[in-house]
A and B are shown apart, each in its own frame.
Chain A
Amino acid sequence: MAEDLVIIGSGPAGLAAAVEAARAGVKVTVVDENASPGGQLFKQIHKFFGSEEHQAGIRGIDIGYRLLEECHLAKVKVMLNTAAWGIFHSSGNATTVAIKNKNDSLCSLDTKVVLLATGARENPLAFPGWTLPGVMGAGAAQTLINLHRIRPGNRVLMIGSGNVGLIVSYQLKQAGADIAAVIDIKPEIGGWGVHAAKLTRTGIPILCSHKIIEVRGLDKVEEAHVARVDREAKSIPGSEKLFKVDTVCIAVGLSPMAELAWSGGCRFAYLPELGGHVPVHNRSMETTRNNIYIAGDISGIEEASTAMEEGKIAGISIARSLGLLKNECAEELIRNKEKNLSALRGGPMGKTRKLAKEKLIRLFNIC
Chain B
Amino acid sequence: MKKSAQAVIIGGGIIGCAAAYYLAKEIDDVILIEKKCIAGESSGANYGMVWQQTRQDGYDLAAARRSLEIYPQLCREVFDLDIEYEEKGGMTLFFTDLQAEAAKGYVEYKNSLGVPVRLLSGKETRSLEPALSSRVTGSLFCAEEAQLNPFYTTLAFARAAQKEGATIYQGVEVLSINLDRGAVCSISTSEGKIFTNHVINAAGSWAGTVGAMVGLKVPVFPHRLQSLVTEQIPKLLTRTIQGSRIARTSEEAAKTFQYAYDTTGGNRPCINQQPPAECIIESSLFYAKPTVNGNIVLGTACDFAGYNRETSYEALAVIAHMAKMIIPRLKDVNIIRSWANFDPWTADGIPIVGETGVKGFFIAAGHGTGMSHAPATGEALAGLITGSAAAIPLGEANINRFTGYREEC
Q: Do A and B bind each other?
A: yes
Please report A residues at the B interface, Cβ cutoff 8 Å. Answer: 85-86, 88-90, 96, 98, 104, 106, 108, 263, 265
Please measure, in the bound complex, the distance between the C-alpha atom of A104 and the C-alpha atom of B333, giving whole angstroms: 11
Contact present for B317 and A106 (CB under 8 Å): yes
- 8 A Cβ contacts from B294-312 to A: 310-312
Residues of A within 8 A of B313 (CB): 86, 88, 90, 96, 98, 108
Please measure, in the bound complex, the distance between the C-alpha atom of A90 and the C-alpha atom of B315, giving whole angstroms: 12
Interface hub of B311, B313, B335 (most chain A Cβ within 10 A)? B313
Q: How many A-B residue pairs have CB under 8 A?
A: 23
Residues of B within 8 A of A88 (CB): 310-313
Known contacts A88-B310, A106-B320; 8 additional CB pairs below 8 A are A86-B311, A86-B316, A88-B312, A88-B313, A104-B331, A106-B317, A108-B313, A108-B317
Contact present for B310 and A265 (CB under 8 Å): yes
A-B contact pairs, 19 of them (CB 8 A): A85-B335, A86-B311, A86-B313, A86-B316, A86-B338, A88-B310, A88-B312, A88-B313, A89-B310, A90-B313, A96-B313, A98-B313, A98-B316, A98-B317, A106-B320, A108-B313, A108-B317, A263-B311, A265-B310
Q: Considering only CB atoms, which chain A residue lies closest to B321 in the complex?
A: A106
Please measure, in the bound complex, the distance between the C-alpha atom of A89 and the C-alpha atom of B305, giving whole angstroms: 13
Please measure, in the bound complex, the distance between the C-alpha atom of A96 and the C-alpha atom of B316, giving whole angstroms: 13
- State the Cβ distance, B305 to closest chain A Cβ, in Å: 11
Chain B 320-339, CB-CB to A under 8 Å as 1, else 0, gives 11000000000100010010
- State the Cβ distance, B319 to closest chain A Cβ, in Å: 11
Residues of B within 8 A of A104 (CB): 331
Please measure, in the bound complex, the distance between the C-alpha atom of A98 and the C-alpha atom of B310, giving whole angstroms: 14
Residues of B within 8 A of A96 (CB): 313
Chain B: number of interface residues, binned into ranges: 10 to 19
Residues of A within 8 A of B321 (CB): 106
Residues of A within 8 A of B316 (CB): 86, 98
- State the Cβ distance, B230 to closest chain A Cβ, in Å: 14
Residues of A within 8 A of B317 (CB): 98, 106, 108
Please measure, in the bound complex, the distance between the C-alpha atom of A106 and the C-alpha atom of B313, giving whole angstroms: 10
Please measure, in the bound complex, the distance between the C-alpha atom of A106 and the C-alpha atom of B320, giving whole angstroms: 9
- State the Cβ distance, A2 to closest chain B Cβ, in Å: 14
Please measure, in the bound complex, the distance between the C-alpha atom of A88 and the C-alpha atom of B309, giving whole angstroms: 12
Residues of A within 8 A of B338 (CB): 86
Please measure, in the bound complex, the distance between the C-alpha atom of A263 and the C-alpha atom of B313, giving whole angstroms: 11
- State the Cβ distance, A140 to closest chain B Cβ, in Å: 19
- State the Cβ distance, A28 to closest chain B Cβ, in Å: 21
Residues of B within 8 A of A85 (CB): 335
Q: Considering only CB atoms, which chain B residue lies closest to A107 in the complex?
A: B317
Residues of B within 8 A of A263 (CB): 311
Q: Considering only CB atoms, which chain B residue lies closest to A108 in the complex?
A: B313
Interface hub of B310, B331, B335 (most chain A Cβ within 10 A)? B310
Please measure, in the bound complex, the distance between the C-alpha atom of A263 and the C-alpha atom of B242, giving whole angstroms: 28
Please measure, in the bound complex, the distance between the C-alpha atom of A85 and the C-alpha atom of B321, giving whole angstroms: 16
Residues of B within 8 A of A86 (CB): 311, 313, 316, 338
Q: Considering only CB atoms, which chain A residue lies closest to B308 in the complex?
A: A89
- State the Cβ distance, B26 to closest chain A Cβ, in Å: 44
Residues of A within 8 A of B312 (CB): 88
- State the Cβ distance, B299 to closest chain A Cβ, in Å: 16
Please measure, in the bound complex, the distance between the C-alpha atom of A83 and the C-alpha atom of B361, giving whole angstroms: 53
Please measure, in the bound complex, the distance between the C-alpha atom of A104 and the C-alpha atom of B313, giving whole angstroms: 16
- State the Cβ distance, A78 to closest chain B Cβ, in Å: 22
Residues of A within 8 A of B310 (CB): 88-89, 265
Query: What 8 A-B pairs have minimum CB-CB distances, sorted nearest first?
Result: A88-B313, A96-B313, A98-B313, A106-B317, A108-B313, A88-B312, A106-B320, A86-B313
Please measure, in the bound complex, the distance between the C-alpha atom of A123 and the C-alpha atom of B312, giving whole angstroms: 30
Residues of B within 8 A of A89 (CB): 310
Please measure, in the bound complex, the distance between the C-alpha atom of A90 and the C-alpha atom of B313, giving whole angstroms: 9
Please measure, in the bound complex, the distance between the C-alpha atom of A104 and the C-alpha atom of B335, giving whole angstroms: 13
Residues of A within 8 A of B335 (CB): 85
Please measure, in the bound complex, the distance between the C-alpha atom of A88 and the C-alpha atom of B316, giving whole angstroms: 11
Q: Considering only CB atoms, which chain B residue lies closest to A89 in the complex?
A: B310
- State the Cβ distance, B323 to closest chain A Cβ, in Å: 11
- State the Cβ distance, A95 to closest chain B Cβ, in Å: 10
Q: Considering only CB atoms, which chain B residue lies closest to A85 in the complex?
A: B335
Please measure, in the bound complex, the distance between the C-alpha atom of A89 and the C-alpha atom of B335, giving whole angstroms: 20
Residues of B within 8 A of A108 (CB): 313, 317
- State the Cβ distance, B282 to closest chain A Cβ, in Å: 16
Please measure, in the bound complex, the distance between the C-alpha atom of A88 and the C-alpha atom of B312, giving whole angstroms: 6
Please measure, in the bound complex, the distance between the C-alpha atom of A96 and the C-alpha atom of B312, giving whole angstroms: 9
Please measure, in the bound complex, the distance between the C-alpha atom of A39 and the C-alpha atom of B310, giving whole angstroms: 30
Chain B 374-403, CB-CB to A under 8 Å as 1, else 0, gives 000000000000000000000000000000
- State the Cβ distance, A268 to closest chain B Cβ, in Å: 16
- State the Cβ distance, A76 to closest chain B Cβ, in Å: 24
Interface hub of A96, A106, A263 (most chain B Cβ within 10 A)? A106
Q: Considering only CB atoms, which chain A residue lies closest to B332 in the complex?
A: A104
- State the Cβ distance, B318 to closest chain A Cβ, in Å: 10
Q: Considering only CB atoms, which chain A residue lies closest to B334 in the complex?
A: A85
- State the Cβ distance, B359 to closest chain A Cβ, in Å: 44
- State the Cβ distance, B312 to closest chain A Cβ, in Å: 6
- State the Cβ distance, A86 to closest chain B Cβ, in Å: 6
Please measure, in the bound complex, the distance between the C-alpha atom of A265 and the C-alpha atom of B312, giving whole angstroms: 12
